């Protein structure tokens, strides 16, 4: 009915937040202010409440970063807390089981990637450069590996001992006669193969095997095996045994890190086909970076404290085997650090804060991979590429990317208009110096993704009507505590990390 000549407006459906252009010009099916609501079909209601994820006497507080961590047996979470001085990373296995796995003074954030049930962790910080802050690996810190068992994380890779083993003829057997070089490769509990060490030369004879004594042991409980490696027969020896190609000797393994002898090894040169030469120049300690990702079964780590445009790429299938000489990619220098990277449809995309380039694995060393420029104005931040569900990985069909211009769908190019087109006013008000705080997770079962904003709110984007700029339905959620991070475990369980005491929330 009419009231004072006013014709009522019937709202038949609700499409979320509208903050674009002048106030007052929002469509009738949108609100200019709709904090803490959630879309239910064409209707809406206030958002659900929160509960504590941990059922322990003292839940974690001051949570600043949280990742889903899929292990071999469970879907778990890694959580960083920071008390103003020291960063502590915890492994939350379930509501009652929590392990402290890494403590580093000054660690305010960390990059993470899961691989074969293990967690690779790289501590980083935000550095004030007088312009927009830069995120870099911590100076003097390293890449860490955690096996998921509750035992504290350790530095990835590992150093080898000094010393040379003794080499002599063994019992009756067979070898190709002539000068060979021999060495040892250590293997850790995470599958890392060390550089070749304890290198020595010996002239074998056809009718005998070869025996080895005083084989140096490695320092650290992580070492579980030692492998014998050898060159094929050397002619015209130049005096540098380490300069020849080494190969694993089949079945020549010491299955512990205590025995000092390996006796009566027979082999022919034609048996030496598994190359170990790429291990010679590997890092014993891998410098920390600000971002980690996996491409073609290789671990990529970028933006160390001193090299903001450098990517280090591991050997295929060996995430801790990163060469100091090979495996380097230098992204075009522009004064901005590499901020993120991801694999999409067999292509590696690398993003700075306002630039995106791509690389394609051509089967050669990474330094030779061809680069293509994708976009010279759009990029992202260190947590600005959405992960999907509880996998800790990106989608195989597209990426959701937070840029300075808005949130975009990316399928090899940025799709315009941006997904956040309706709320460009809200997005443009965010502090660009705090874009490092942005973190996105995508939850297809709920048809929505969650975005931690620089202003410490959680932005929820519902795409049940379609993932495009017109169909997206947006709503910001705010709480009594500041929101720092978000992740998803167990398919669709959303964990929100907050910084007030006892407020690590579900």
Which residues, in sequence order, are CB contacts of 347 under 8 Å at separation 6+? 358, 359, 360, 412
pTM of the model: 0.92
Structure tokens at 232: 């094929």
Q: Could you write out the DSSP letters of every residue in 82-99?
A: E-SSEEEEEEE-SSS-EE
Cα dihedral sign, 381-112-478-39: positive
Cis upstream peptide for 417 (omega within 30°): yes
Helix-strand-coil split of the chain, %, nearest 5: 5, 45, 50
In the prediction, which pLDDT does 499 show?
74
Distances (CA, A) of 391 to 284, 314, 357, 395, 396: 30, 22, 25, 10, 12
Assigned CATH topology for domain 108-156+286-382: Neuraminidase (2.120.10)
In the prediction, which pLDDT does 392 show?
57
Q: How far apart are CA 438 and CA 422, in angstroms?
A: 19
In the prediction, which pLDDT does 325 show?
87
Q: Phi first, then psi: give them for residue 428, nearest 5 degrees.
A: -70, -15
Query: What residues pair up with 33 in beta bridges, in sequence order?
Result: none
Question: Is residue 154 within a helix (H) or strand (E), and if so which, with residue range?
Answer: strand 154-155
In the prediction, which pLDDT does 395 show?
62
CB atoms within 10 A of CB 144: 23
SS3 16: coil
Distances (CA, A) of 57 to 60, 206, 329, 403, 502: 10, 70, 48, 40, 10
In the prediction, which pLDDT does 343 show?
95
Going by their DSSP bridges, the two strands 439-443 and 448-452 should be labelled as antiparallel
Per-residue pLDDT of the chain (506 residues; tens, 9 = 90+): 555 666 776 767 888 999 998 877 888 888 888 899 887 777 788 888 877 777 775 678 889 999 999 998 888 999 999 999 999 999 999 888 999 999 999 999 999 999 999 999 999 999 988 788 999 999 999 999 999 999 999 999 999 999 999 999 999 999 999 999 999 999 999 999 999 999 999 999 999 999 999 999 999 999 999 999 999 999 999 999 999 999 999 999 999 999 999 999 999 999 999 999 888 889 999 999 999 999 999 999 999 999 999 999 999 999 999 999 888 999 999 999 999 999 999 999 999 999 999 999 999 999 999 999 999 999 999 999 999 865 555 666 899 999 999 999 999 999 999 999 999 999 999 999 999 999 999 999 999 999 999 999 999 999 999 999 999 999 999 988 899 999 998 888 899 998 764 443 43
Query: Maximum CA pair distance of the chain?
Result: 112
Q: How far apart are CA 226 and CA 133, in angstroms?
A: 45
Query: Domain map of the chain by residue range?
Result: 12-56+385-506, 108-156+286-382, 166-279
Q: How far apart are CA 122 and CA 115, in angstroms?
A: 14
Cα dihedral sign, 380-384-388-392: positive
Cα dihedral sign, 210-214-216-217: positive
Q: How far apart are CA 255 and CA 41, in angstroms?
A: 60
């Amino acid at each position: 009915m009419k009231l004072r000549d006013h014709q009522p407006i019937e709202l038949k459906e609700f499409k979320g937040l509208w903050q674009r252009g002048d106030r007052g010009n929002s469509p009738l099916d949108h609100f200019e202010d709709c904090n803490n609501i959630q879309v239910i079909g064409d209707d809406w209601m206030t958002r659900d409440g929160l509960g504590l994820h941990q059922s322990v006497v003292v839940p974690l507080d001051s949570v600043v970063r949280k990742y889903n961590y899929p292990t071999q047996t469970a879907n778990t979470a890694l959580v960083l807390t920071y008390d103003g001085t020291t960063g502590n990373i915890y492994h939350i296995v379930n509501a009652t089981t929590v392990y402290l796995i890494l403590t580093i003074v000054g660690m305010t954030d960390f990059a993470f990637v899961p691989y074969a049930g293990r967690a690779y962790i790289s501590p980083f910080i935000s550095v004030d450069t007088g312009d927009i802050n830069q995120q870099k690996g911590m100076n003097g810190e390293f890449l860490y590996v955690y096996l998921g068992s509750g035992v504290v994380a350790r530095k990835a890779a590992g150093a080898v001992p000094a010393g040379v083993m003794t080499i002599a003829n063994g019992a009756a057997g067979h070898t190709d006669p002539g000068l060979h070089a021999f060495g040892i490769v250590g293997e850790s509990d995470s599958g890392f193969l060390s550089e070749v060490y304890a290198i020595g030369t010996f002239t074998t004879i056809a009718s005998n095997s070869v025996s080895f004594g005083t084989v140096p042991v490695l320092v650290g409980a992580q070492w579980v095996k030692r492998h014998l490696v050898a060159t094929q027969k050397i002619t015209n020896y130049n005096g540098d045994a380490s300069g020849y190609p080494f190969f694993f000797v089949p079945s020549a393994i010491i299955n512990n890190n205590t025995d000092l002898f390996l006796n009566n090894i027979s082999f022919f040169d034609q048996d030496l086909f598994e190359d170990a030469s790429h291990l010679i120049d590997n890092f014993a300690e891998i410098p920390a970076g600000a971002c980690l990702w996996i491409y073609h079964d290789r671990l990529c780590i970028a933006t160390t404290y001193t090299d903001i445009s450098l990517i280090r790429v591991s050997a295929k299938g060996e995430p801790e085997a990163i060469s100091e000489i090979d495996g380097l990619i230098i992204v075009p220098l522009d004064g901005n650090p590499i901020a993120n990277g991801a694999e999409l449809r067999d292509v590696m995309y690398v993003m700075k804060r306002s630039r995106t380039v791509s690389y394609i694995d051509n089967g050669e060393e990474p330094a030779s991979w061809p680069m293509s420029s994708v976009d010279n104005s759009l990029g992202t931040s260190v947590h600005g590429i959405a992960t999907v569900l509880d996998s800790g990985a990106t989608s195989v069909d597209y990426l959701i990317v937070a840029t300075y211009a808005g949130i975009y769908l990316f399928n090899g190019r940025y799709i315009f208009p941006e997904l956040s087109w309706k709320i460009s006013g809200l997005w443009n008000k965010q502090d660009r110096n705090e874009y490092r705080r942005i973190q996105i997770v995508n939850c297809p079962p709920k048809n929505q993704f969650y975005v931690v904003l620089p202003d410490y709110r959680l932005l929820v984007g519902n795409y049940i009507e379609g993932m495009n700029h017109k169909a997206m339905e947006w709503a910001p959620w705010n709480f009594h505590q500041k929101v720092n991070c978000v992740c998803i475990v167990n398919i669709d369980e959303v964990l929100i990390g907050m910084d007030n005491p006892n407020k690590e929330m579900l």
